[in-house]
Amino acid sequence: MSTCAVAALSSPPTSFTSERVTSGITASVQPSAFLGTKISVCKGASVLSRAVSASISRQPLVAPIRAQGVAAPADTKAPTTTKKTDTKSTVIITGASSGLGLATAKVLADSGEWHVIMACRDFLKAERAARAVGMPKDSYTVIHCDLSSLNSVKQFVDNVRQSGRPLDVLVCNAAVYLPTAKEPRYTADGFELSVGTNHLGHFLLANMLMEDIQHKENDTNRRVIIVGSITGNTNTIAGNVPPKANLGDLRGLAGGLDGVRSSVMIDGGEFDGAKAYKDSKVCNMLTMQEMHRRFHEKTGVTFASLYPGCIATTGLFREHYQLFRTLFPPFQKYITKGYVSEEEAGKRLAQVVSDPTLNKSGVYWSWNNQSNSFENELSQEASDAEKAKKLWEISEKLVNLS
């Protein structure tokens, strides 16, 4: 799921020094700026920036936590057989128990043309969420998947294959965002949590499921979609607000992001929770392009990324300061005009999943203020083919695919 421009603006650095908090931004913003079409500066951002900065000193520290791999309970596994009469296409959506993932799952389930596999860490939460939004009972299956554990990802893939459902589309949507964390947290495999979950977990999942997607008999709608973020693109206002995404020479990633042999940050720098998220989104967008180069021509599978708009009320901001969570939605609605509801964002992602006119591979999709889709431009780093290749090779080693 994507964060938005002012989310980046208000995310404090590890040390919370005043030099790293931006303010005093007063120039006007054009209607399409928050969609990443051009760099401009956001009127009124200084108000929110100063308010959030003022609240920093009153916030408690976030203690470092190492994630634990959790095996899927028996009842979270998919059934071993599928009805022969079921002609629906199948889509996997990670992080489908809330926010953008749930909204997209509902749109596709309600269409009657899709069976949604909800890949979620919390089985009961996902099941309750699907029922709460009224998804038809036979339109979805919840299967446990904790992207912060490589073993859990592998178990998930096994369970999907046991379900007997031919896979059409994979949507890599789930994300961890820790903008106020002063100390790094870690995955079950010892990687910094944001990059380990958002990038490495999805990297392993997409690579393992390529075998299933490329061998699907019906090849008219096979896609792998990775949700990107405007904050990872330095050709936008969000991407130019410190801390800016920067993968550097990938020295931290090559060292394992464990905080022992190397830095926990991809570029080898000091830990910054907001930057770790932005870096992971650059990795997502680079991975999509590298998959396009490696697999599209020989398999026919479409690879795409997208930024569905600023979902200011998303649960992705649950670890942000309360003041930020209070001010950010009205700021987006009435000042920047960049606000997009979860429902609208879900429709946009569902378009990328199923719309035959959005089947071009290697594209980063965005929408204008009239909700019309267009092919957007990625920043220089997010479209660097050499860096994408190096990222791929290092990631393969870290998840034991090489």
Question: What are the boundaries of each domain within the chain?
Answer: 74-398
Distant-in-sequence, close-in-space partners of 285: CB < 8 Å, separation ≥ 6 = 226, 228, 232, 233, 305, 364, 378, 382, 383
Give the Cα separation of 22 and 96 in Å (integer). 33
Superfamily in which the 74-398 domain is placed by CATH: NAD(P)-binding Rossmann-like Domain (3.40.50.720)
Q: How far is CA 317 from the centre of its chain?
A: 13
Listed residue (243, 245, 242) closest to 232, CA to CA: 245
> Residue 46 class from Cβ within 10 Å (0-12 exposed, 13-18 middle, 19+ buried)?
middle
Give the pLDDT confidence score for residue 237 in this predicted structure. 73
Q: Where are the beta strands (DSSP E) in 69-214?
A: 89-94, 114-120, 140-144, 169-172
Give the pLDDT confidence score for residue 74 in this predicted structure. 44
Give the pLDDT confidence score for residue 174 in this predicted structure. 97
Give the pLDDT confidence score for residue 234 in this predicted structure. 79
pTM of this structure: 0.79
pLDDT-based confidence at 63, cuts 50/70/90?
Answer: very low
Q: Say yes or no to pLDDT of 59 above 70.
A: no
Give the Cα separation of 146 and 74 in Å (integer). 15
Q: Say yes or no to pLDDT of 334 above 90.
A: no
